Each structure stands twice: as C-alpha cells, then as structure tokens.
Structure 1
Amino acid sequence: MVAKKFIEVLGAEMVFDTRKGRFHALRNINLTVAQGEFVTLIGHSGCGKSTLLNLLAGLTRATAGALICAGREIDGPSPERGVVFQNHSLLPWLSCFDNVYLAVERVFGAREDRDQLRERTANALAMVGLTAAAGKRPYEISGGMKQRVGIARALSMEPKVLLMDEPFGALDALTRAHLQDELLRIVAQTGSTVVMVTHDVDEAVLLSDRIVMMTNGPAATIGEIAEVRLPRPRDRVALAHDPLYMEYRKQVLEFLYHRQAVPAKAAA
C-alpha cells in the first residue's frame, strides 16, 4: 500500500437544523486515507456513514472542522471525486449509454474527440456487463441494472477518489460478487483511492485495506478501525477458509453486535 496521505478529515462535525431542533449527526471525526487505499465505513443505520461520505463528496459542508483531498480543502463537488449513490440517480429521458456519456463528455470532452468519448463510454458499460442494454432507458431495465449504470458512470470518469454509498446493495448475489471482483481489479489497475459505505461485513473484509467502524448516532464518531492485512489479489473462495479473514470478520461483528448493541438498547 502506498503510504502517501491523500484524504484528511480533521475534527469534522455535522449538525442539521430540523423541525424538531438541532440534530448532531457526526462528532469529532478524525480520519486519514492514504493514496491508493481502500477504506470502508460500516455501522448501524443512522450512524452517519452516508453523511460522512457526502462531506467527502463536497455535497454538504461540515458544521465544524475541515476535510482535505490532495492538499486542497473540499469545498464542493469535483470530477476528481466520483460518487456512486445508494439509488441509481439516472436521468430517465436518456439511454444508459447517454447517461454515462454525459459524465465522460464533462470530464474528457475538452481534449478528446467524439469517437474517443464514445469508446470510453462503451468500455465503462462493458465493464459492468451492460453492453446489450446501452440503448435502453432507465425505465426499461431492472433496479440492479440501473445501479450498474451508475457504477459505470462513476468509473468512466477515472476519478482519483471513488466514493461509494452501498453501491451493490440492490444487486443479486452473483452480480454483486462479480462487481466486487471487478471493482478490486479496476482499483488495482487505476490506483484509485476508495471510500465505500457498506452494511455487509463480508464485503468490508473482502475489499478493504481498513474498516472504519462507526458508533451509534446521534453524535456518531469513529469507534474502531481494523487494518485488514490480507494479501492482494484476493480470492473470495480461498478467503472463506482463511483464519485471518475469519478473525477480521469476528472483530467487526463483535464491535457491531456486542459493543454497539448495548447503547442502542439503552437509547430505546
């Protein structure tokens, strides 16, 4: 792993003003992510995982603290930080191809001709197995396929940072496994830095260099960080019998369902 510091979250706080008063979502978040590192955020619902991802994407601004990427403060969205949301977020009047092409044109349009842009788009769709669906509109394809178009759109921009909010949650098990493997291959090839939200413990251990475990909200913070020292490339079948893999899995489950279960019941 490359040790160069790339993302810094320095004392970040997030407070929302709601009809019921002020809601303290995140408290004193301090995190660094190395260039080329794959980090997952995991925790119970309502622990601020997606809120933290939105701060990194520049979609919202922290109430206090600072977030830095590549030496510059994050003050808004950027194509250098590609985002894959929980829902597909596709434009319904455009085809799958055109939804991806729109992003490709925005990033590469000033220096590449139309044929090159179309080739990039086609390659991104092929990467997620949607070449045959390129001409279809979102209402003509399944929910899982829509999400795959969203993944293709983000990957097509070749971002330095890939921010993913449960991108595989809507997919069937086989497609999910395939795209996890494809994501590992792509990240190894591009050297992208990845921060990904997940609820899936096995997914976190399979993909991550580090797993950031969030405490229960409100005022959620980082409770524990597990370093996953499994060699790459990773084979999911071999890992199923790896004692170290099982140890990391146990560590995360212990945090989520023992250490965090007590305050959750108390709050209820």
Structure 2
Amino acid sequence: MDKFVELTRVGKHFETRKGRFVALREVNLDIARGEFVSLIGHSGCGKSTVLNLIAGLLEPSEGGLICNGREIDGPGPERAVVFQNHSLLPWMTCLGNVQLAVDKVFASRSKAERRERSEAALRMVGLDHALHKYPSEISGGMKQRVGIARALVMEPKVLLMDEPFGALDALTRAHLQDELLRIVGQTRSTVVMVTHDVDEAVLLSDRIVMMSNGPAATVGDILTVELPRPRERLALANDPLYHHYRGAVLEFLYQRQRRPAA
C-alpha cells in the first residue's frame, strides 16, 4: 500500500473535572493515496476525534500522525474539513463563501483567476445557478454542497468529512452521496469520512474502519469493500456482495460490540 496518511499507536486523552478521560488508545491506520475510508462505530467511539487528529485540530497524547511524508502538527490547506454543520458565513453569497478559501490559499493568483476557480468549484457541485444567493436563500442540501465546494477548491491532498450528510433528509442525503461519488471519481481525492450510516459507508468506501466502543476506543476491524467503480445505487440494491458487506458491518456494530465484557 502507498501509505499517504499514517496513524501509529495514536492515543488521545482529555483532562476533565472527574479525572483523565481516555478517548483513544493504540490506533494504527494507514490510508493510501486516492483511497476513500469511512470511520464507523457507536456514539462515543472516537470517530470524530480521529478525524480531528488527522485535521490537526487536536494533538495526539501518544503516538504520531503523518500525511504525505510530513508529521501532522496542526491544521493546513492540504487537509480540508467538511463538518456536519456547513458553517457558511450568512452575510456572504455562495460565491463569496467559496472565494474566502481561494483568497487565503491562492493569494498570489490574479483576482480573475481566483474568481474563476471559485465558480468552477460551485459548478462541480451543481450550484452554478446559485452563485449570488445567500445561505438563507438556499436549502440545507445546497448549503452542504457549498461547504464541499469550499473544501475542494483548496485542492486538498486529503478531504476530511465529519458526518457531512447526517442532518439532511433521506432523499437529499442520497442525492449528495451520489454527487460525492461523482466528484471523488473526477478528482481522485483521498477521503476520510465519519458516518453512522452503514449503507453510506458501503456505497462510498474502499475500506470501512470499524471502531470499538469507548472509552479507550481503538480500531476493532477493517473491511475492504471490493465493489467495482463507478458505483450505481440502484444497481447495488440487489447485489449480493453489497449485502454481504452491509451485513458484515452490522454484525460488528450490533453483535460484537454489544457483547458484555468477559
């Protein structure tokens, strides 16, 4: 495997009023360039903590993290994050919200080039008709697409997504999942996504990292999803291999992880 992101014996603890809380222990994970990896597990298993460590928003208590051969020691434009909350600035248009990232990362480019780059990112997510609309004038799904465009326009080496579709209705979520499949196929991005949705994980991922229950959570198992790409949702609906992978994740989540400790 071409190791692009490496987590080696990563641990994370937090000091609280009740003492030390150990969120993660001995997390080892290698992610290849261009791979789509999902992190899944019960609430409190440290999925978002792992994502925030890769993003550089948290520092590990033990172990180390490497991206593209360099130690992760803080946030950087090579790692873009899409949160569940779109986090758009309400006084700026969709174009303005995206161009904010462009102006920061590509400050040396001309104004015209920065604008074209921003418009192209919004076209990629199907929002060329909403360039001049404000967040209050568009739907939740459209806001999330602006957030994805803002992340992609930075040309990150790694796209980090923390339950990006979790707050959306089922139909909007399915549509954006299909959009993400198309965009990732086009950009060949390396993606790490936190999700609670088993079907979403199987549909999108090359590998699914299943976290053990917290506290002191770690990687419980890793499932390789060998479904050919490009993937079509309707075609997979009756695919026995798709249902095999789905069943394997459910078995881990709802049987192994609910067994009482010996």
* Both proteins in one fold, TM over 0.5: yes
Deviations 1:42-87 (CA, angstroms, capped at 9, x unpaired): 0011110000000000001000100000010000111111110121
Could you tell me which residue of structure 1 aligns to residue 186 of structure 2?
189
- Equivalent residues in 2 for 1:181-260 (5 A)? 181-260=178-257
Could you tell me which residue of structure 2 aligns to residue 119 of structure 1?
116
Q: Is 1:30 the equivalent of 2:31?
A: no
The one-letter code matched in structure 2 to 1:207 is: L
- Preserved contact between residue 95 and residue 136 of structure 1 (Cα < 8 Å): yes
How many Å separate the matches in 2 of 1:150 and 1:65?
A: 31
- Preserved contact between residue 12 and residue 61 of structure 2 (Cα < 8 Å): yes
Deviations 1:5-57 (CA, angstroms, capped at 9, x unpaired): 10100000000111222111011100000111110000011110000000000
The one-letter code matched in structure 1 to 2:231 is: R
Q: 2:160 aligns with which of 140, 143, 163?
A: 163
- Match of 1:91, SS state, is coil
Q: 2:141 aligns with which of 140, 144, 147?
A: 144
Give the number of equivalent residue pairs.
Answer: 261
The one-letter code matched in structure 2 to 1:248 is: Y
Report the alpha carbon displacement of residue 119 of structure 1 after superposing the two structures with TM. Answer: 1.6
For structure 1, the residue ranges without an aligned partner over 5 or more in a row are none
- Match of 1:247, SS state, is helix
Could you tell me which residue of structure 1 aligns to residue 90 of structure 2?
92
Name the % identity. Answer: 72
Could you tell me which residue of structure 2 aligns to residue 12 of structure 1?
10
How many Å separate the matches in 2 of 1:145 and 1:247?
A: 33
Report the alpha carbon displacement of residue 149 of structure 1 after superposing the two structures with TM. Answer: 1.6
Q: Is 1:39 the equivalent of 2:37?
A: yes
Report the alpha carbon displacement of residue 117 of structure 1 after superposing the two structures with TM. Answer: 1.4
Could you tell me which residue of structure 1 aligns to residue 62 of structure 2?
64
TM norm structure 1: 0.93
Q: 1:172 aligns with which of 169, 172, 175?
A: 169
Could you tell me which residue of structure 2 aligns to residue 83 of structure 1?
81
How many Å separate the matches in 2 of 1:152 and 1:170?
A: 18
- Match of 1:223, SS state, is strand
For structure 2, the residue ranges without an aligned partner over 5 or more in a row are none
Report the alpha carbon displacement of residue 118 of structure 1 after superposing the two structures with TM. Answer: 1.2
What is the Cα-based RMSD across aligned positions, in Å? 1.5
- Preserved contact between residue 165 and residue 196 of structure 1 (Cα < 8 Å): yes
- Preserved contact between residue 141 and residue 176 of structure 2 (Cα < 8 Å): no
- Preserved contact between residue 128 and residue 179 of structure 1 (Cα < 8 Å): no
- Match of 1:260, SS state, is helix
- Preserved contact between residue 147 and residue 170 of structure 1 (Cα < 8 Å): no
Could you tell me which residue of structure 2 aligns to residue 102 of structure 1?
100
How many Å separate the matches in 2 of 1:86 and 1:179?
A: 13
TM norm structure 2: 0.95
How many Å separate the matches in 2 of 1:229 and 1:131?
A: 34
Deviations 1:229-266 (CA, angstroms, capped at 9, x unpaired): 11111111111111111000000000001111234xx7
